[in-house]
Amino acid sequence: MSSPRETILAALHARLSALPAIALRGEVLPERVPAEGLLILRDGEPGEPEVTLSPLAYHYQHRAEIEAVVQGAARDATFDTLCAGIGAAIAADRTLGGLCDWVEVEAPRPVDLPVEGAASLKAALIPVILHYSTADPLA
């Protein structure tokens, strides 16, 4: 049986996998970026939970990250479309089917990365805050 943390991250990855871009989880950046873009979900940090004692519950604001990467001549438009798709996918169900209390996304900070002998990459880390509670920090 998976922990609430793993279940929530898997649900977020599944949500990202429904987008036209390739969605990976915890992988290294491949040599080639698909034309529709690439998303890599990083598990991130659960941080220090707030604890309530009756009943015992650990309340997390888990900070995961989505690496969004595009390449090609129309990278600005592709990046914008990709970010809008991520926002729409998360806004469609901010509880990931009731698995967590709330999901919020922070604005990306895009950078252009030169690639020798190829079109430059446009990439950004997009922080995703997952609010959830669990009865056991290891379960």
pLDDT of residue 15: 97
Q: What is the pLDDT of residues 32-67, one digit of tens each?
A: 899 899 999 999 999 999 999 989 999 999 999 999
Domain count, the chain: 1
Half-sphere exposure of 111 (CA within 13 A, CB side): 7
CATH number assigned to the domain comprising residue 75: 3.30.2000.10
Q: How far apart are alpha carbons 131 and 86 in whole angstroms?
A: 18
- List, for residues 79-91, the tens digit of each pLDDT value: 999 999 999 999 9
Calculate the average pLDDT of the chain.
94
Residue 117 has pLDDT above 80, yes or no: no
Would the pLDDT of 19 be above 90?
yes
Residue 75 belongs to domain spanning: 4-47+55-134
Contact present, 36 and 22 (Cβ < 8 Å): yes
101: Cβ contacts below 8 Å, ≥ 6 apart: 95, 131, 132, 133
Tell me how far apart the alpha carbons of residues 129 and 110 are, in angstroms, rounded to a whole number. 19
Residue 30 lies in a domain: yes
Q: Does residue 79 belong to any structural domain of this protein? A: yes
Is 124 part of a structural domain of the chain? yes
**Per-residue pLDDT at 16 exceeds 90:** yes
Does residue 43 lie within any of the structural domains? yes
Q: In the predicted model, what is the mean pLDDT of residues 115-126?
A: 87
Gap between the Cα atoms of 24 and 40, Å rounded = 5
pTM across the whole model: 0.93
